[in-house]
């Protein structure tokens, strides 16, 4: 009978997959990360409050996360390649409709729903493919792939600002839609892992257990307390994650900086983000500490930096805090998805990632509007950073609880065959690689 090879190749065509995922991250997450450049333009165009404008972003975040289980399920039943191509078409359609400047509710529908769903359909399968192609080098492979978000964000910040000045924000959205059509090309490069014709009688029971759930979305994973606590961490982290990129440019502008100076902060942030992802991916690959311990340290430090950011009142001091924020944010992003493998194993990764993104949506949906409401109420952009930092510090507490549960489970099951990224790699027959 047909089965996918249970042992990831850890190289070969996997590096083509990583390259494709690199561009997918750049054409999705990097676009979103620079949406703060459009914030004041859209707000002044429609003459609405900060909280009202924030709903455009929060709708995108919510749909992006809500579409994750659907993207995971379709990837299992169709293919990762097909889902990414569909995601590219949806994202492009959303930007083209938004560029028509029909009305603010149409912005919610086009950028919020179509763009959000398109990004979800591209981002989720791309992450999954990288995890399936790599085992030993998974942390560094994912760090390289996710760094596409940073590399593209560095270039997009000045580019988008120049496009806005030259062609208006509507024309810029149309151009972005054209760029995102390249997601279809990236999807076409996502070749499925080769299938092996195997006989159940000839294979060990362990190999069969690794493949028995292929193609089935595992809702039963929600019964695992460690995954539920990790999802609580994700909800709180998502509430704080998406606020700083959205409000950094308006905050800098409120201090009297020009748009180009404010936009340059996002470029520096993206560079620091890139360094953080590569450094943390490399550190995670060394396995000096458990991934969950590393995640606790960096997410707590990230929250503290955001709580202190409002003391910065000039360009250079903001640049220092933005750099620290970018580096620590990159560290969190480099390991927070691959850590799911430590909790549920590779066989449950696709389903767990879908559930993780689905339930995390509540934090991403509420965070930006809540921060916008605080800014409207206090008339001070600093309130948004206090809120973001508090959410992230609190999220670190739940990572500690998850680490304790996972460690306790490993002590109870010392002979467990579940794959993690914190221990020596095991082959199907149990031998060390």
- Considering the domain boundaries, does residue 123 fall inside one? yes
pLDDT at 263 exceeding the cut of 60: yes
Q: What average pLDDT score do residues 126-140 get?
A: 83
Q: Residues in the chain, how many? A: 433
pLDDT at 409 exceeding the cut of 50: yes
- Considering the domain boundaries, does residue 70 fall inside one? yes
Which pLDDT band, with edges at 50, 70 and 90, does 2 fall under? very low
Find the range with the poorest average confidence among 205-209, 270-274, 316-320. 205-209
pLDDT at 428 exceeding the cut of 60: no
Q: What average pLDDT score do residues 244-254 get?
A: 81
- Considering the domain boundaries, does residue 44 fall inside one? yes
Instruction: Report whether 273 contacts 327 (CB < 8 A).
Output: yes
- Residue 364 and residue 262 share a domain: yes
- Considering the domain boundaries, does residue 431 fall inside one? no
Which pLDDT band, with edges at 50, 70 and 90, does 208 fall under? very low
Residue 378: how many CB atoms within 10 A of its CB? Answer: 12
Residue 261 vs residue 316, higher pLDDT: 316
Per-residue pLDDT of 23-56, as tens digits, reads: 999 999 888 878 877 877 888 888 887 778 778 8
Query: For 49-137, where are the alpha helices, taking DSSP H only?
Result: 50-66, 68-77, 80-99, 104-107, 116-133
Which residues are CB-neighbours of 196 under 8 A, at least 6 positions away? 2, 3, 4, 5
DSSP state letter for 347: G
Instruction: Kindly report the pTM of this predicted structure.
Output: 0.68
The predicted structure's pLDDT at residue 202: 42
- Residue 294 and residue 170 share a domain: no
CA atoms within 13 A on the CB side of 245: 26
The predicted structure's pLDDT at residue 220: 82
- Residue 116 and residue 23 share a domain: yes
Per the structure, the count of domains in the chain is 2
pLDDT at 59 exceeding the cut of 60: yes
Domain end (from 193, 210, 233): 193
- Residue 247 and residue 113 share a domain: no
The predicted structure's pLDDT at residue 299: 93
Instruction: Report whether 24 contacts 126 (CB < 8 A).
Output: yes
Q: What average pLDDT score do residues 188-213 get?
A: 54
Q: How far apart are CA 419 and CA 215, in angstroms?
A: 19
Domain end (from 193, 208, 230): 193
The predicted structure's pLDDT at residue 203: 44
Q: Which CATH number does the domain housing residue 325 bear?
A: 1.20.1250.20
Q: Is 401 helix (H, G, I), strand (E, B) or coil?
A: helix
The predicted structure's pLDDT at residue 149: 84
Query: For 201-346, where are the alpha helices, taking DSSP H only?
Result: 205-211, 225-241, 243-254, 259-286, 291-308, 315-336, 339-344
- Residue 29 and residue 77 share a domain: yes
The predicted structure's pLDDT at residue 4: 46
- Residue 97 and residue 34 share a domain: yes
Q: What average pLDDT score do residues 354-363 get?
A: 81
Find the range with the poorest average confidence among 259-273, 344-358, 403-417. 403-417
Instruction: Report whether 248 contacts 269 (CB < 8 A).
Output: yes
Element (H, E) at 197: strand 195-197
pLDDT at 210 exceeding the cut of 90: no
- Considering the domain boundaries, does residue 423 fall inside one? no
Instruction: Report whether 358 contacts 65 (CB < 8 A).
Output: yes
Instruction: Report whether 240 contacts 389 (CB < 8 A).
Output: yes
The predicted structure's pLDDT at residue 185: 94
- Residue 295 and residue 178 share a domain: no
Which residues are CB-neighbours of 209 under 8 A, at least 6 positions away? 347, 417
Q: What average pLDDT score do residues 242-269 get?
A: 80
Domain span at residue 153 reads 8-193
């Amino acid at each position: 009978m047909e089965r996918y090879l249970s042992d990831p190749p850890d190289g070969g065509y996997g590096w083509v997959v990583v390259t494709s995922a690199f561009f997918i991250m750049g054409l999705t997450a990097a676009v979103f990360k620079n949406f703060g450049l459009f914030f004041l333009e859209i707000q002044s165009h429609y003459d609405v409050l900060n909280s009202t404008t924030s709903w455009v972003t929060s709708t995108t975040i919510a749909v992006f996360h809500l579409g994750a289980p659907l993207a995971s399920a379709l990837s299992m039943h169709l293919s990762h390649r097909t889902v990414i191509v569909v995601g590219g078409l949806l994202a492009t359609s959303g930007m083209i409709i938004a560029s028509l400047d029909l009305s603010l509710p149409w912005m919610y529908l086009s950028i919020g729903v179509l763009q959000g769903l398109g990004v979800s359909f591209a981002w989720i399968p791309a992450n999954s493919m990288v995890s399936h192609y790599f085992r030993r080098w998974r942390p560094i492979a994912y760090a390289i792939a996710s760094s596409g978000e940073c590399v593209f964000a560095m270039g997009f910040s000045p580019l988008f600002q120049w496009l806005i000045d030259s062609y208006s924000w509507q024309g810029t959205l149309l151009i972005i839609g054209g760029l995102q059509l390249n997601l279809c090309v990236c999807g076409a490069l996502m070749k499925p892992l080769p299938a092996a014709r195997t006989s159940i009688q000839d294979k060990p029971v362990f190999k069969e257990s690794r493949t028995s759930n292929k193609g089935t979305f595992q809702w039963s994973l929600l019964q695992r307390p460690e995954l539920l606590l990790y999802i609580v961490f994700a909800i709180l982290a998502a509430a704080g994650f998406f606020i700083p990129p959205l409000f950094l440019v308006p905050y800098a502008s409120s201090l009297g900086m020009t748009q180009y100076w404010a936009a340059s902060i996002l470029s520096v942030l993206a560079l620091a983000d890139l360094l953080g992802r590569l450094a943390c991916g490399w550190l995670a690959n060394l396995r000096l500490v458990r991934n969950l311990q590393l995640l606790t340290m960096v997410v707590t430090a990230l929250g503290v930096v955001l709580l202190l950011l409002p003391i910065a009142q000039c360009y250079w001091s903001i640049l220092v805090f933005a750099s620290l924020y970018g580096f620590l944010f990159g560290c969190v992003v480099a390991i927070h998805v691959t850590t799911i493998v430590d909790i549920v194993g590779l066989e449950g990764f696709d389903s767990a990632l879908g559930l993780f993104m689905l339930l995390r949506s509540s934090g991403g949906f509420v965070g930006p509007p809540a921060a916008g409401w605080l800014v409207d109420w206090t008339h001070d952009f600093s309130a948004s950073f206090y809120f973001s930092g508090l959410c992230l510090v609190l999220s670190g507490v739940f990572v500690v609880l998850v680490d304790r549960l996972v460690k306790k489970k490993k002590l109870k099951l010392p002979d467990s065959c579940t794959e993690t990224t914190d221990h020596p790699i095991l082959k199907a027959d149990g031998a060390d690689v």
